[in-house]
Amino acid sequence: MEFVPAIRKCLRDWITFSGRAPRSEYWWFALFLLIIYFVIVLIFGGFLLGGLFLIGDGGNFVIPGIVVGVIAGLILLYLYMASISAGVRRLHDRNMSGWWMGGAVILSFVQIGFETAGMMTISLVLSITSIILGLFLLVVMILRGTDGPNRFGEDPLTEVSAEVFE
């Protein structure tokens, strides 16, 4: 799969957690996300450094940054869901449960909660666990998917041929 078709498929299937995703689809989409996140950081960096988040006229503040922030937040949430969905489908291509991805996401949020609550020892243990799980998932995402059909569907690399009956 090439760059643009991979992006289209992942964006279209942003809440599809069934089926399989080949390596090319997953990694093209990961590259796309990296570029998008970089651009968003540049845009927000410009707003923050340029002082466009708080433009005031005396005591009355106009905050156009809130509108930009809400739009960017919705876009980031959409892309986050699409990345989780693509990761789940990639795990399915390896014949693994998508709950490995779900576990990583849940573990990250739990770790943030403990850190916020000031429970740094538990937070540290969860951080180390998240790093180990992340490295495991990275290796899994790099490996080739299972050949032929598996419990999650047909092999996405197998071309479907149609025979014409006369």
The tens digit of pLDDT for each residue in 110-152 reads 999 999 999 999 999 999 999 999 999 999 999 999 999 999 9
Stretch 85-102: mean pLDDT: 96
Q: Pick the residue with more confidence: 73 or 65?
A: 73
Nearest one of 81, 61, 78 to 70, comparing CA atoms: 78
Q: Where are the domains of the chain?
A: 3-95
Stretch 18-39: mean pLDDT: 94
Stretch 3-12: mean pLDDT: 95
Task: Look at 11-25, 57-71, 87-101, 108-122 and tell me which has the smallest mean pLDDT.
Answer: 57-71
pTM of the model: 0.81
Distance CA 112, CA 115 (A): 5
DSSP designation for 56: E
